[in-house]
Structure 1
Amino acid sequence: MVKQLRAARTREALVLAAAETFADDGYALSSLPAISRRAGVSAGALHFHFPSKDALAAEVESAARRSVEERVAVRRSSATSELHLLITVTRELLVAVATDAVVRAGFRLSVDPSRKSGTDFGRWWRTWVCEQLLRAQHQGELAEGVAPDRVAAVIVAATFGFEVLGAQDRDRIAPLHADQFWSLVLPQLAARSDGFVCAVPPAS
């Protein structure tokens, strides 16, 4: 039991150290020795848990996905609509990019041209956004003529753009940027009710 706990803590430390390294330096410039030093574990311990840098990067992307999935699950119960959930999650992603190295690294790894096999997190995020818009359309929340796949492409491009800005200067990026984005997009996206367009919901 003690050995299992120690192994789990070592693995967690390696994933966090890898995320910080990938987020700061990118995949190509990150090295396993640098990651093991950052985690405070031996090179042998790193290779015991992760046989290659690509395996470690894949685990970081998976951890980023789980983190966002947990945020979605928490917010779903309090969301007043499918669009409300989408807006809330993108707002929280912006916070995560600035404060959570794992989520930040997940975004960076998924678009890093030096890592040919790494698209898990980015693909999952694109799929989730599109499916969320399809759910909104099914609930009658989208304006007539709005194509969920086209809108999803815009939202995904914006969130990846926020990640780039956050990586360059995490103090400069804030949830306000997501609200400004939605204040521009939502009037074109949301169905009108009694002559009014739904507004960006306040942060909870």
Structure 2
Amino acid sequence: MVKQERAARTRRSLIKAAAEVFAEVGFVPASLGAISARAGVSSGALHFHFATKGVLAEAVEEEAGETVRRLTEAARAQQGDSLQAVVDATHELMRVLAQDVVVRGGFELAGDIGRRATSPLRRQWQLWVEDSLRRAERSGALAEGVHWADAARVVVAATVGMEVLGGGEAAWLSRQNVTRFWEVMLPRLTGDRNRGAVVSSGSRPPAATSAEPRQRPVPRPER
């Protein structure tokens, strides 16, 4: 049991260290030596858990994806098929991007053309937003004349843009910034009938979910 716990801690340390290095320099320039040194473990221990840098990157993305899955499921469980679920999930996504280095590193990998042409994390987020806005339309939450697919394109483009820009400037991930986006969007999405029914700043108190970023995302090098 002690060995298993130690192995789990080592694996977790390697994933966190890899996420930090990937967020700082990207996938291609990152070295396994730098990652093992950041984690405080030997190269042998790293290779015991992860055969290649690609496998380690996949582990970072998998953990980041699980965090995104939990936050989107929580938003839907609390708010059902409503626009509020989408608003709350965007606030929570930006919060974890600012505060969780594994999520930050996972999204950095997602946008790294040195690895692949498509992003599993961004695709995961896109599919959830599309499904949520489709549900909102069916429940009558969208204004007349607004199609869920059009709304999804705007929301996904804006939130992915915040994620990318937040890599260099923390203010893009702030609660204030996300709130302003929704203040502009919600009147168009809800129409007169449901105006005021959705809270643009999120349904939870700021202290509970959407504090300003506690750590500044590491600026991404020009590539």
Say yes or no: TM over 0.5. Answer: yes
Q: Which of 1 and 2 has higher RCO (CA within 8 Å, sep 6+)?
A: 2
Name the counterpart of 1:166. 166
Equivalent residue letter for 2:65: R
Unaligned runs of 5+ in 1: none
CA distance in 1, matches of 2:11, 2:22: 16
Contact 1:191 1:197 (8 Å CA) reproduced: no
Structure ranking higher in helix proportion: 1
Alignment of 1:87-98 (within 5 A): 87-98=87-98
CA distance in 2, matches of 1:171, 1:181: 13
Unaligned runs of 5+ in 2: 205-223
Contact 2:182 2:200 (8 Å CA) reproduced: no
Q: Deviations over 1:127-186 (max 9, x none)?
A: 111111111111111122323223222212211211222211226641111111111111
Name the counterpart of 1:200. 199
Alignment of 1:39-58 (within 5 A): 39-58=39-58
Contact 1:142 1:190 (8 Å CA) reproduced: yes
Name the counterpart of 1:141. 141
Are positions 1:120 and 2:117 aligned together? no
The alignment yields a C-alpha RMSD, in angstroms, of 2.0
CA distance in 1, matches of 2:116, 2:200: 38
Equivalent residue letter for 2:157: A
TM-score (norm 1): 0.90
Contact 1:19 1:60 (8 Å CA) reproduced: yes
The 3-state SS of whatever aligns with 1:133 is helix
Contact 1:21 1:30 (8 Å CA) reproduced: yes
* Equivalent pairs, count: 203
CA distance in 2, matches of 1:111, 1:32: 20
Name the counterpart of 1:6. 6
Contact 2:183 2:200 (8 Å CA) reproduced: no
Identity over the aligned pairs, expressed in percent?
A: 43
Instruction: Identify the range of structure 1 (139-148 vs 59-68) with the bigger mean alpha-carbon deviation.
Output: 139-148
TM-score (norm 2): 0.83
Name the counterpart of 2:156. 156
Alignment of 1:177-196 (within 5 A): 177-193=177-193, 196=195
Contact 1:58 1:118 (8 Å CA) reproduced: no
Contact 1:109 1:118 (8 Å CA) reproduced: no
CA distance in 1, matches of 2:151, 2:115: 27
Contact 1:98 1:171 (8 Å CA) reproduced: no
Contact 1:94 1:174 (8 Å CA) reproduced: yes
Equivalent residue letter for 2:44: G
Contact 1:60 1:102 (8 Å CA) reproduced: yes
